Structure formats: structure tokens, C-alpha cells
Amino acid sequence: MSGEAHTSSVVDAGIISEIFKHDTNNVLIWNGFKKDSKGVEIKNQYWKNGQSIDWEAHIKGTLKQGGCLNRNGVANCLVVDVDKEIDPVEFCREAYAVDPLIIPFRSPSGTKWHAWKFFHKDMPVAEVAANAKKIEKQFKKLYGNKVDVDKTQPTISGQIGINFPFSSSAQYPYSPQGNKLSFKQFTFKYRFQHHPLIAIAAGLTEPGRHKTLLLIASYLNQKNKMKFLDEVIGAMDGLDDEYYRKRILDKKIHEKYKVGAVAIQKRIAEIVGHEDVAEEKEYVAGVSEPNILAAVNATIEDIIDEPLQPLEIFEHTGLEPIQKRPWLMHGLLLENALTLLVGQPGVGKTMMLHMLGYSLATGNDFFGKKVECRGNVLGLFAEETSNESAIRWTACKQKMGKNDGKFKLYRRGLEHDLKLVKFGKEEARATEQYKQLELTIKEKNIKYIIVDPLISFQSGSYNENDNQNMDAYVKNYIIPLALNMSGAVIAGHHTNKMSMVSSQDNELLVDNQNALMAARGASALIGAARFVVALQPMTKKLWDQFFAEHITDGSNFIHYTGMIEAKSNYNMVEADIMWLKKETVEIPTDDGFTESTGIYATTELNKVTKAKNRLKAAKNLAWCRAQIPTIQKLFTKAGDEADQITLNSIVTELVPLEADFADEKVLEATIKTRVRRKLENGFSGKEETKDGYQMEGVEADDGYNYWLKRDHGSKGAAKVFITRYIDFKRKNAAR
């Protein structure tokens, strides 16, 4: 470092004025030296009221100035004056131990010290003054009365002045190693002061710079801030190693390392020479020097590295080529998305998840769904041992089909504790294991991750019923895993005991909405998932009513589970339920015995359900055909031009015609519900005609076709209608 002044730039003068804010109504002038009454040469200093510092003159050295840091009750920096000649290495090391945010400056004499500490925002002066006194007390333990307590700033009251740095070549800032810093290195250290590993790069000399740079690169990579790497290299004193830079940028040698608080403290301790060093805090975004003027006084979160630009938007012209969705399993798994499998404890979620994982790795169908893209699978099972996963996947091979070994099945069980996210009172943070998992995804080329149950992979003050907690957990940490591997995350999750299947008028009904909302905890989870599949255990009531008479293999309701599509963001969910049977599979063990496990298989119950539903639909259709004369009369009353009438008006007309209408024991509301359901089922059916068109509703002998229509935009009760047109082709055109 030369003996010349650091800077004379007008821009730099503006930066300094924002960093060293002062009372602009008074300036302390140092106009050379004078002799006191005893003939001793002293500084010729005096206060000049009513004006601020001329920073340009100050940094050029033509007028040395100082000021008071208390600005009407706020301050953004503090300083302690140590009036003693101390070796730079010793003083800087001790200053770092007192407070790692201190930046030591030489006093105007060039041999003594001013210890400055900076804040990135205005703070109450009482708070800053208390911090200054705390630091002063620490220095007094080291240097006794050589600490000029009358110069400690800011104070709550009183006009106390301090000479500001950068007025002469003697007033250098220093690094924790005791090395002089350039003005550029000083602003770098200031910008990144809340991240010791980054800040330590300013003025860093050998030994160990390459090691430090490697750790910093790993740290920047974790924070998605690799754009600052060249600034870090530039801040290191005299480091010009393009070869090592390319090894980082091209060979990615830093990605094998994940830097945490312990590694940071250890490296800084090696550099500074003691163990009492700061832990990492929140990341400070970089600010190019001209932008410090606008950002230096903002909160850390507000600091940016480039001027704010308008949000980029994209025009839809209608001419864009439409790309196929990146389906991994059509209707169930999409690239970069989360799929939830939900169900009550013990219903068989883990069994199902093992089967899905096996299917994705081997390419075997998953209950009729084909695997669009095979890949390596990692199963994270927090409630099963790794051995249990081995048993289940062996059972899958026996029942689902062979495994050609082209893609791998990896597992981690309950004996391997895994926490991916830690929640604090204010925020959630990725754990070291999360960062390790990211490395594993790359190293093992993982395409699919199964987390079961989802809730088990977090720790700390987490509340699953809190939407903010759930949103942060899923969107900030779970779904990004899918993005990292261009694959999908499948999560198991518990449900409340909410029925998803019921019966009415001897008809089995699937309640997709109940299936969707049954998932336990905050609704943010369901909102974040693109697909939700629900498992519903068979109930004895449903079994006795619909299936018992048809099943002769000795099984009963406890052996069956229904699988329901509860949500899909990209296609209509199936209204039917797929009934699956739990079968027992014996797996040989290494001691010559066997272990039993379960696996799902398709059943005849689905045929029974569909057959019953078809029979019910046929009965409803026949009943609706019988009501056509009554409906035709209502259309006549409405006028010849009428093409629709409300369903309520038809219900009102038909209820008195029901056989049990005169029975006082039967509520009229019950009859209305039954009639409405028959009308909705009968008139919403579809039938393929000979000419290839799909005819909806009921064709009558008056030449009209009658069918159900819903108007979701209508207000009030009149939202469902029976509408008619003369023929299907005309009806299709009129739409």
C-alpha cells in the first residue's frame, strides 16, 4: 500500500458521507497546529456552527474535519479512541475479539487507533451509545487509561467531536490480520460485515487464501450468490489466480463442501489467531460502489446489487408452439411438482409409497398408470427401518414385475435420523442435512424422492396448523428438491377421520371434496401440491351394503382400501374409487425363515361398484324418460321460445307424484332430495350416437333432446336447469 491518500473521487466522498453520518449543523475543523500558553504545539481545532462537512475537501486533505455522531437522537456508527501506539497485528486481533464488526483505523497521528463500528441503518442513539460504552469498557481492560473515554461516540447529549478518517494517507483502515485496506477493500468489508467469512477476504494475505476462497465459494453457492466471487477475489490483497478461479467456476470443486457456522469459526480463528469469533448471520446482498449512496442506510434486506428494473413480462401472441407437459406419470406425477398421498394412520400409505417408488424405478405400471420417465428413487421413511423398505421392495418385485436394475432404489430409514428444516420463532432454515441431501441428489442422479410422513423431516417451533409455517416448509424446502432434480417429490401425510365415501339411495358416492380437505393441518399444504391422492379404508357399512354378497374368497372389509383422486391441477379427477386389496407376501430372510409384509392388488370390487352404478344410472334414466310429459308441460307454460327451465320448478312439480308423498312419516325435504338426485343423474348421462356425436341427456319423441345444464355464474338458487334443443348437432352449434 502506497503512502498516497486513498481516494479523491467525488463518488467516494458521497459514499463516505453516508457511512460516517454526523450532525450536519456543526463541523469540527482541524486547521493545522498551534502553541498553547506553555509553548507546547497542539492541534488547532474548533467548532464551526451552521455547516456540514465538506467531504470532498476532507478526502483531498485540504481541510481536515470531524463531527458529532448523534444526529437528533439517532446514529449509524460508533467510535472508540485508543490513544496508544500498538502494533497493527496485535491491535486488530484484539479489536476483532472485542467485536468482529469493528474496523480499526489509524488516528490522524498515524500511530494510534480509532475503533469504528458501523450499522446499516439509523438506530436510536441511546442503543448505539450503550454499545459504544460496552466496547470502550472492553478496550479499557486491555489498555487502561490509554482509552480516551471523552472521545467515545456517540453520546446521548453533548457536542463531542471525533476526527473522521480518509483525510490523510496516515488514516488507513485495517483488516483483522493487521493489513492496511484500500478504500475499495474497506467498502467491501463494510458491505459484507454481517458475514464474517466474506468480510475476512478484504486484505487477506497468505497463508491459506486458496483454502479460504474455496470455503467462500462454497458459502456463496449455498446462498445462490456466486456472482460475487470475482469481488471476493478482488478484495483479497494481491490475489490474481485465474487458474484457481477457473477450477471453482468450471470444475465446481467447491460444490463438494457445505460450509456451516463451525467451519466458518474455525477458518476465521486460523486467520485472526483466536477462537472467539463470530458466527454467520443473515446474508448481505452486494452493493456496487455507486449504489451504496442509495442503499447504505437501508435495512440489510433492502440492499441490492443493481438498480431496480421493471418486472419482466411476456406477451402471449397465440403463435407460440405449445409444449407437452412434462408428465412423469400421467395424471399423478409432473416434473418439478409435489404429489401428496394422504390417509389415516395404518391405512397403508407407506405400502403404497413403496409400490409407487418401485414402479418409478423399474417402469412397471402403477395400477394402470404408465411410467413416462424412469429414474433413480430415494425413499426417506421416518417411521420404517431400512430393512423394512428392503422387505417391501422385494415384495413389490414378486407382485409388480421384474427389476432390470437400470435405475436404483435408495432408502433411508428411521434409524437414520433426518431433519431437513429447522423452524425458529422468526424463520425457518435449511439444516446441514438438507444441504447434504442436495449433494446426494446430484451425486446419485436422484429423480424421485419419497418423504414419509412429510411432517417428520422438520424440527423446532413448527406448527402444522399454521399456514405460514406449512407454506415455508413446503414451498421453500420440499418442492425445491423436485426442481433440483427435474423430478418429483411424493409425500405421505396423515388425514383426519373424515369419510370420503358414502351411500345414498343404494348408490355408492365418492366425495372428492372431503378427500381433498381430509389432509391434516394447514390448507397451504393442499394448495402447494399439484396432485392429491387419498386412501379410504373400507367401512363395515359399505361392505355389507354393496360387496359382502359378491365376495366368496373369505376376505372382509378390513382387507380393502379405496384410492381416490382428490386433486389434479391439470385434468379432471376421476369420480370413481379404485378398491384395492391388501395381500400378504412372504419374503425369505437370510436365516432361512420368512417375514410377512403387505402389498396392494386390484380387486373385483371395482367391477361390482361400476356394475351397480351402471344399473343405478339405467334406472334413473328410465325414470327420467317417464317424467318427460310433465317436463314438456312446464316448457309449454314457459312459452314456445323457452329453451331451459329451472330444475327446482321440475322438482316442485314431481314431488307430489311420488308414492310416499302422502306418508306423514316421510319428510317432504327427503322426497325433494331424492327427486333432484334422480333428475341430475338421469339427465346428465351421455351416449355415443351412430354418427359419432355424443348425445347428452334424454332424447324424447317430440324431437327435442333434454339434458342437465349448470350455470355457475348465476346468483341465487337458480343455477341448475333442464335445457332442450331440437337435435344434437344444433345443440352443439348453439353452445
- 10-194 is classed in which CATH architecture? Alpha-Beta Complex (3.90)
Query: For the segment 212-250, what is each residue's pLDDT rounded down to a tens digit?
Result: 888 888 888 877 788 888 888 888 876 667 777 788 887
Confidence band, pLDDT 50/70/90 cuts, at residue 591: very high
Alpha-carbon gap, residue 622 to 698, rounded angstroms: 9
Tell me, what's the pLDDT at 45? 84
Kindly tell me if the per-residue pLDDT of 608 is higher than 90: no
- Inter-CA distances, 583 with 202, 563, 564, Å: 66, 16, 19
Residue 570: pLDDT band by 50, 70, 90 thresholds? confident
Q: Name residue 66's beta-bridge partners.
A: 28, 163
Q: What is the pLDDT of residue 609?
A: 67
Q: How confident is the model at residue 349 (pLDDT cuts 50, 70, 90)?
A: very high
Q: Classify 324-603 by CATH class.
A: alpha beta
Give me the mean pLDDT over the 706-735 stretch: 64
pLDDT at 171 over 60: yes
Q: Residue 619: its pLDDT value, please?
A: 77
Residue 455: pLDDT over 70: yes
Region 457-469: mean pLDDT is 90
So what's the pLDDT on residue 110?
82
pLDDT for residue 153 is more than 90: yes
Closest C-alpha to 381, from 416, 412, 336, 407: 412
pLDDT at position 360, please? 98
CA dist 100 and 199 (Å) reads 10
State the Cα–Cα distance between residues 378 and 365, nearest whole angstrom: 19
Q: How far is CA 434 from CA 431, 439, 690, in A?
A: 5, 9, 60
Copy the grid coordinates of residue 409: 432404489
User: What pLDDT shows up at residue 521?
Assistant: 87
Percentages of the chain per state (helix, strand, coil), in multiples of 5 = 40, 25, 40
Per-residue pLDDT at 149:
93
Specify the pLDDT at position 304.
32
Could you tell me the three cell numbers for 214?
474455496
Section 172-188 average pLDDT: 91
Ordered by start, the domain boundaries in the chain are 10-194, 199-283, 324-603, 627-734
Q: List, for residues 265-324, the tens digit of each pLDDT value.
A: 788 888 887 554 444 443 333 333 333 333 333 333 333 334 456 878 889 898 989 889
In whole angstroms, give the CA distance from residue 386 to residue 82: 62
Query: What pLDDT, in 10s, does the model give residues 635-690?
Result: 888 887 778 899 999 999 999 999 888 888 888 888 988 888 888 878 876 544 44
Q: What is the mean pLDDT of the chain?
A: 84
Residue 18 has pLDDT above 80, yes or no: yes
Decide if 597 contacts 391 (C-beta within 8 A): yes
**90-94, 533-537, 549-553, 574-578: the lowest-pLDDT one:** 574-578
- Cα distances from 220 to residues 98, 217, 228, 259, 664, in angstroms, run 27, 5, 8, 9, 78
The Cα 421–Cα 362 span in angstroms is 31
H/E segment holding residue 583: strand 578-588
Alpha helices in 111-180 (DSSP H): 125-143
Q: Which residue has the higher pLDDT, 2 or 633?
A: 633
Average pLDDT over residues 39-62: 84
- Highest mean pLDDT among 106-115, 201-210, 275-284 belongs to 106-115
User: pLDDT at position 284, please?
Assistant: 34
Q: Which is more confidently placed, 692 or 93?
A: 93
**Cell numbers at residue 415, please?**
434409524
Give the residue with greater pLDDT, 690 vs 124. 124
pLDDT at 361 over 80: yes
Predicted local distance difference test score (pLDDT) of residue 298: 32
Residue 1 is predicted with a pLDDT of 39
Give me the mean pLDDT over the 25-53 stretch. Answer: 82
Share of the chain above pLDDT 90, in %: 41
Task: Inform me whether the pLDDT recorded for 714 exceeds 80.
Answer: no
Q: Would the CATH topology of 10-194 be identical to that of 324-603?
A: no
Three cell numbers, residue 544:
355389507
- Residue 5's SS3 state is coil
With a cut of 80, say whether residue 97 has pLDDT above it. yes
Which residue, among 423, 487, 421, 431, has the nearest Cα to 454 in the 3D structure? 421
pLDDT > 50? residue 439: yes
SS3 699: strand
Q: What is the DSSP string of 446-465?
A: EEEEEEESGGGGEEES--TT
